[in-house]
């Protein structure tokens, strides 16, 4: 989760697409050049250990656009394939 947040901060489309599960991966990631990420807070994790095949992360990411603050709260679902965690989908809270 933290590495994907960093991928959005530095607008690394290649990394974000690589870490996205093929069944839900978009063809591209759209970025807003006005968006400035301010921080990530992990609220809760469930499963996601090395012996698990799925994991969940609830987080809050804060950002600004044109000086106005926003927050994105999501419960993300990850799936482990070939020993790599992939973002599957998320529910906005």
Q: Cβ neighbours of residue 71 under 8 Å, at least 6 residues apart?
A: 60, 61, 62, 63
- What integer is the mean pLDDT of 10-14? 98
The pLDDT assigned to 26 comes to 98
- What integer is the mean pLDDT of 3-24? 97
pLDDT > 90? residue 1: no
The pLDDT assigned to 9 comes to 97
Mapped onto helix, strand or coil, the DSSP state of residue 22 is: coil
User: What whole-number distance in Å separates Cα of residue 17 and Cα of residue 79?
Assistant: 14
What letter does residue 28 receive in the DSSP assignment?
-
Q: Which residue do the tokens 């050049």 mark?
A: 33
Residue pLDDT, tens place only, 27-86: 999 999 999 999 999 999 999 999 999 999 999 999 999 999 999 999 999 999 999 999
Q: Which CATH architecture has domain 2-92?
A: Roll (3.10)
């Amino acid at each position: 989760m933290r590495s994907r947040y960093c991928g959005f901060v530095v607008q690394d489309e290649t990394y974000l697409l690589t870490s996205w599960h093929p069944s839900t991966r978009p063809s591209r990631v759209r970025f807003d050049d006005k968006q400035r990420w301010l921080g990530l807070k992990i609220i809760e994790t469930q499963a996601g250990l090395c012996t698990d095949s799925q994991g969940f992360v609830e987080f809050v990411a804060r950002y600004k656009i044109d000086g106005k603050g926003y927050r994105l709260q999501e419960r993300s679902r990850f799936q482990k394939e070939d020993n790599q965690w992939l973002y599957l989908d998320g529910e906005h809270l």
